[in-house]
Amino acid sequence: MFQEKQFKKIKSDFPIFSRKIHSDKSLVYLDTAATSQKPLQVIQAMDDFYRESNANIHRGIHELAEEATGLYEAARTHIARFLHIEDARQFIFTRNTTESINLVARTWGTKFIQKGDLILLTRMEHHSNLVPWYMLKEEKDLRISFIEITESGELDLEQYAALLEQQPKLVAFTHMSNVLGSINPAHLITRMAHDAGALVLIDGAQSAPHFPVNLTELDADFFAFSAHKMCGPTGIGALFGKMPLLEQMPPFLGGGDMIRKVTFEGFAVNSIPYKFEAGTPAIAEGVGFGAAIDYLEGIGMEAIARHEQELTRYALQALGAEKGITIIGPEAEKRGGVVSFSFEGVHPHDVAQILDSEGIAVRAGHHCAMPLHQRLNLPATTRASLYLYNSTEDIDALVKGLAKVRKIFA
C-alpha cells in the first residue's frame, strides 16, 4: 500500500474529496468501476486548453490551430507509450469503450463476418461487449457461444478450449470483470484464440486504469478502453487495432476529417487513424486524457496495482467477517479492486441508499451485466470498487455503514 505521506499527497490531488456529502459527511467514494474521480492536474490541463489554445484541429494553419493539434496528437502518443505500442496511429479516439467495440462490430464485423460464423464471448461480459454482437447476429445470422465461469468466478479454460475446436472468427472478452473483479488470463486466452485461427478483442475498461498492460506482449488484435475510468474526462476513449486490420476495415462514420478527397462522384478515405475519426473530436477531453496518462505514469501502474490488491485483500477479509454478507468472485490474488456482494434480506438499492446517507458512494444493481447476474441467480448486487485514492479507512467506513443497514433492517 502507499506510504502515508504519498497517499495524502495523492488524495489531495482530487478536489472532490474536499466537499461534504449531505452537508456534514466526508465523501467515501467506492464507485470507481463506474467512473473515476479526476485529479487537479487533469482539470487544469483542460482548463488551460480552453483558456489558451482553443481551436479546431488538423485543418487550420494559424498558431492556435497548430497548438491545439499538437496537444491533441500528443495525447495519442502518450497513450501509445502507456500501453507499450510504438506506432501511435494504431490508437483511434472514440467516445468510450462502448463505441470502440461498436466500431469493430460495425466495420470489421460487417465486412468479414459471414452467415453461420461463430463469435465467442464470456458469461461475465458487460453489455457493451454483448449487445453490439447481438445486433450483428441479427444482421448476419451468426452464432454466439459463451465461455462459462466456474463457481469461484473464473473462466472455465477447459470448456474454452473445447469451444475453440469450432473455429470461431472472434474471441471477445473482458480483461477484468466489472462485477466479479476477476482478472482473466488475457495472454493465455489470446494465444489459444490465435492458435485456433481467431482474432481477439479485449474490453480493457477495467484493466487499463488499474494495472500495467503491455499490448505488444499481449498481442490482442483489438483493445478498447475509456479515459473516464482512469482519472481522465468523460466523453473520450480509444480503440487499439493492429494496422493490417485497420487498413482493411471500412470507415465507421462519414464526414469531415475522415476523408482525403471528396468530389461529386464520391470520396477517398483519409489515412489511419483519421479514417475512423469523423468530425470535430473531443479536443479538450483528448488533452485531459493525455494529462491523466501522465498522472498515472507519475505514480506508477505497478504501485497502483499493489495498493489496490492490498486494499482488496483487506476489504474481502473485513466484509467476509460480516454476518449476512455474501461476496461473489475469486480470491484477492485473482481479482482487481472490485467487491460485489449481496446482503441477506436487504435489496442492494436499500443498502446503497443507507450508505449514501453516511457519505459512502457504492453502486447497486446489475452493473450493466444482467446476463451474469442471471447466471449467478442474483437479481442485483451491491458493488464497492477501489482505486488509488482509497484507503483502509474507506473500507472501515463501509463496514460501519453496513452495520447501520443491519440495524435498520433487523
Integer Cα distance of 303 and 305 in angstroms = 5
List, in order, residues 6 or more apart from 196 with CB less than 8 Å away.
164, 165, 167, 168
Our measurement of the distance from residue 111's CA atom to the centroid of its chain's CA atoms, rounded to an integer in Å, reads 26
The 3-state DSSP class for residue 343 equals: strand
338: phi then psi, degrees, rounded to nearest 5: -125, 125
Residue showing cell 441477506: 344
| Catalytic choice (368, 370, 378, 399) | 368
Integer Cα distance of 93 and 110 in angstroms = 20
Q: Which three cell numbers stand for residue 196?
A: 485456433
Integer Cα distance of 156 and 124 in angstroms = 12
Integer Cα distance of 12 and 57 in angstroms = 33
**Residue 231 a catalytic site member:** no
Choose among 239, 246, 229, 235: nearest CA to 202.
239
**Total residues found in the chain within this entry:** 410
Integer Cα distance of 315 and 396 in angstroms = 8
Q: Is 288 exposed, middle or buried (0-12, 13-18, 19+ CB in 10 A)?
A: buried
Integer Cα distance of 175 and 206 in angstroms = 7
Residue showing cell 453461420: 116
The three-point CA angle 245-109-234 to 5° equals: 80
> Contact at 8 Å (CB) between 122 and 145?
no
DSSP states along 170-182 = EEEEESB-TTT-B
The 3-state DSSP class for residue 404 equals: helix
Integer Cα distance of 113 and 211 in angstroms = 33
Residue showing cell 479492486: 337
Integer Cα distance of 409 and 286 in angstroms = 46
The three-point CA angle 217-85-284 to 5° equals: 135
Catalytic residues: 368
